[in-house]
Amino acid sequence: MKIALDDITSNGLEIHFEETEDVLSPALKTMLVPRGTAISPYIIGGVSLEGQAGLFRIDGQITAQVTQCCSRCLTSFVSSRVIELHFSARRLSAEQIPSDASALLDAQPDELVLLEDELDLGELIAQEIMLDLPLQPLCRDDCPGLCPRCGGLRGSDECHCGEEKTIDPRWQKLLSMRGK
């Protein structure tokens, strides 16, 4: 979803997203999404944009549906990710861009430098969703994970390994010494 920077005024521009509009598909096609993860291109929320003299402020909150694979039990689950957007940006004209790109290095860490006359809001939102994804997603906080012996879900009907008292044969000799 590209927005012309000339459409953003000091009065602001409000954009509301319903779950019926495909906002993220073009941006997600160019991104490397982790294996086992799928991000829905339909988001809910709103973004406000304000601009004056080449400086822009982008604020908002969106909710995205993300399907991931649990890192403990390997089941697929869907979670809602609520993401706050707070950015400042400035537009540089072709004359303002030095050949050594030093102006780009002078930008603040949380400031976007816009080299074109439009802002790709879909790409910005998709990047924020990717940054919000956990490195090791869990289907729930107390997920027991898979049993290393039988491969079933720990504590379920298919795994009874926790009930059996088995001793690693490498430690058997130490246990016999303990009784002496």
The CA distance from 151 to 36, in Å, is 19
In this predicted structure, what is the pLDDT of residue 166? 67
In this predicted structure, what is the pLDDT of residue 105? 60
Q: Does residue 56 carry a pLDDT above 90?
A: no
Asked if residues 47 and 62 have their Cβ atoms less than 8 Å apart, the reply is yes
Q: Does residue 147 carry a pLDDT above 80?
A: yes
Contacts of 13 (CB under 8 A, 6+ apart): 3, 7, 48, 49, 50
Q: Which two tokens stand for residue 43?
A: 């988001």
Q: Which two tokens stand for residue 73?
A: 């039990």
Could you give the 3-state DSSP secondary structure of residue 4?
strand
Q: Does residue 102 carry a pLDDT above 70?
A: no
Q: Does residue 143 carry a pLDDT above 80?
A: yes
Q: Does residue 19 carry a pLDDT above 90?
A: no
In this predicted structure, what is the pLDDT of residue 168? 76
